Chains A and B, each alone.
Chain A
Amino acid sequence: MIRKIRKQMTLSRVVLIVFLSCIAVFMLLPIIFLFNNAFKPLNELFLFPPTIFVQHPTMRNFEQLLLHTAAGVVPFSRYLFNSLLISGITLVAVVLVSTMAGYVLSKHRFHFKRLIMALIMISLMFVPETVMIPRYLMMSGLKLTDTYFAHILPFIAAPVAVFLMKQFIDQIPDALVESAKLDGATDMTVFTRIIIPLTAPAVATVCIITFQAVFLDTETSMNYITNETMKTMAYYVTAFTSNVPGVAAVSISAAVGLLMFVPNLILFLLFQRKMIQTMLHSGVK
């Protein structure tokens, strides 16, 4: 009897595991397809019915991509460079600003703290479209259109990141900060030696969120940038896939699809362990 139940249990277990594995594989399909597609020769790209796995891998798609120039003058590498530069600078700036703001909002006492926090919360509620025109007016008023600042500055005001950091730093006991102050630490020392190491998981999360937002952003290039050399890869990809006709587009877009995906993947692999870690309360109580 007991054995029977046990058998049933394991059977249902097995079914569950098989089922979940299937879902996992299904979820993986686009990624597998993406990787394979990038290396397919032209005839395989147009194969019907389409295949998932590549049969004769080739680097031709990437070759085409590097040779292709948008609007006749700007090479693909320029877009890639723009994207990486902007994402990198924005990432550093957002992490710096949001962690500092989070620390101050969480551990310091000052006037209008609640009001400031409320304003940040309210700014979370705006749909991006509503701020597009005011933002354009500000950018052109500051004469920042067609510069990298137009890409970077709007992203630095990141209420989600500030909110996330504030919530996370709230969990660090005040006693830790006070103890450090009694030990002779300045605010900067407390921040760099205590707060940042303890909030590493939140910082990792902020990094991933920010990078994705910046790297995949096309609005900025579309709205504030007219100079083709200042636009980003994300813009290039969307413009390319919708505008360029012909056979060449398919092979290039296969390659560029992979290139868009890889930085995200790298960042995620780098930070996912930190995200899962919850080491915060280990030293207290």
Chain B
Amino acid sequence: MGSVEFNHVYKYYKGESNPSVHDFHLTIEDGEFLVMVGPSGCGKSTTLRMLAGLEDVSKGDIYIDGKFMNYVSPKDRDIAMVFQNYALYPNLTVYENMALGLQLHKVAKHDIELRVNRAARMLEISAYLTKKPNQLSGGQKQRVALGRALVREPKVFLMDEPLSNLDAKLRTQTRMEISKLHKQLNTTMVYVTHDQTEAMTMGTRIVVMKDGNIEQVAPPQRLYDSPDNLFVAGFIGTPQMNFLQGTIATHDGEYFFENKRLKLKIHDSYIPHIKAANRKIREVILGIRPEYVACEGWALEAYPEWQASAIIDMIEPMGSNTFLFATIGKDTVISRAEPHTPIQIGETVKLVIHMDKAHLFDCESGVSLAVRGDR
């Protein structure tokens, strides 16, 4: 049982006019794996630390499991946290590191032994229990840090960028293990990261933050498919979503996205949103993911109204597919093509922009013209 509720939480630091966390309002269900993601300094760590009780809440309430937590000290919140630098006690052995929390909570000795050994088996660190942290590798330290949180059997796990000190291969592996662990334990986890891959692969729900504000809260796939605004659209996905500036124009009752070089018919499914936006012509930004920019022959035949001509600037072969960097006027558009594409650098090609998968954002506010949650 470990639901978490943030009720309009603010954090002001002394001497700063802008709040570090601005109106954070969110309920985390029991058993959820919530990932908070955003660029550094966006307030995600501060939010986590407020939940842990390491920072005071300036305004608003935090509830864990329905209980008001603002003034409860960290040790009484029934939470466990994994830190970025692991924060293992260098003077204690691995076993003592894991047992300390239980000892301090006056758990019986045989019970401590049982729990530590079980966690050690689960994380495959049984062999290192008598070692000191400085004798372990980064990955092993990370497991010990996880184990230390695990033995506590808390209501909520908090993780503050736990993988950022590991090398790439180990990171992928540990990522999977944490996901598996979550499925096994079914405990609420709140995970902070700046890495969008971690966010996408691990979270059941993702909170995207920027400058202390929540930009969007959604499950990973929905976040990818229908971002609420330009920031989320640009932040999630590699390579980044393509952005093209232009206007919406009407010709004979049909809607078009236009700029100097382009004239693309807007897909029917998007028209109600434009109408609802209540202004006929306005500056917009068209967002399209690289996988929906095609250069194959069949697409060119199938969608004559969504074509644009472009010059290939650079080709990045990734093995499984190839990224084409093309220029349309001043804008660069990335297209994901088949791995063995015959296209050469400098060639002028026709690209198909799949307008049924495109997003339109208000140029001024950056907000999507539609929150197309059901598409």
Contacts and interface: CB of A to CB of B under 8 A. Distances in A.
Question: Do A and B truly interact?
Answer: yes
Nearest to B77: A182
Contacts of A186: 75
B28 to A, nearest CB: 18
Q: Which of A183, A189, A194 has the most CB of B within 10 A?
A: A183
Interface string A182-214: 111110010001100110000000000000000
B165 interface: yes
Nearest to A282: B134
Interface string B62-94: 000000000001110001110111111111100
A282 B133 contact: yes
Interface string A164-189: 00000000010110111111111001
Given A193-B100, A282-B132, A283-B132, A179 B87 contact: yes
B52 interface: yes
B104 interface: yes
Contacts of B19: none
Given A178-B54, A283-B132, A183 B100 contact: yes
A183 B104 contact: yes
Contact of B91 (A182, A184, A198): A198
Interface string B35-50: 0000000000000000
A280 B91 CA distance: 9
A281 B54 CA distance: 23
A244 to B, nearest CB: 51
A185 B87 contact: no
A284 interface: yes
A279 interface: yes
B54 A279 contact: no
B91 A284 contact: no
Interface residues of B, number: 29
A114 interface: no
Contacts of A175: 83-85, 87
B105 interface: yes
Interface string B81-125: 101111111111000000011001100000000000000000000
Contacts of B83: 175, 178-179
Interface string B52-66: 111000000000000
A178 B87 contact: yes
A182 B74 contact: yes
A176 B87 contact: yes
Nearest to B83: A175
B165 A285 contact: yes
A184 B80 CA distance: 10
A103 to B, nearest CB: 15
B52 A180 contact: no
Contacts of B88: 283-284
B9 to A, nearest CB: 19
B224 to A, nearest CB: 33
A228 B289 CA distance: 92
B85 A285 contact: yes
Contact of A284 (B53, B54, B90): B90
A122 to B, nearest CB: 25
A172 to B, nearest CB: 9
Contacts of A176: 87, 89
A182 B75 contact: yes
Interface string B130-145: 0011100000000000
Interface in B124-162: 132-134, 148, 152
A280 B89 CA distance: 10
Contacts of A282: 90, 132-134
B90 A182 contact: no
A148 to B, nearest CB: 35
Contacts of B74: 178, 181-182
Interface in A243-285: 279-285
Q: Which of A173, A176, A284 has the most CB of B within 10 A?
A: A284
Given A279-B90, A282-B132, A282-B133, A185 B75 contact: yes
B89 A180 contact: yes
A194 B85 contact: no
B134 A179 contact: no
Q: Which of B53, B83, B90 has the most CB of A within 10 A?
A: B90
A185 B74 CA distance: 10
Interface of A: 173, 175-176, 178-186, 189, 193-194, 197-198, 279-285
Top 9 A-B residue pairs of the complex, sorted by shortest distance between their CB atoms: A283-B90, A282-B134, A183-B101, A184-B104, A283-B133, A175-B87, A179-B87, A197-B91, A184-B75
24 contacts: A176-B87, A178-B52, A178-B87, A179-B81, A180-B89, A180-B100, A181-B73, A181-B75, A182-B54, A182-B79, A182-B81, A184-B75, A185-B75, A193-B92, A194-B91, A280-B90, A282-B133, A283-B89, A283-B91, A283-B134, A284-B85, A284-B86, A284-B87, A285-B86
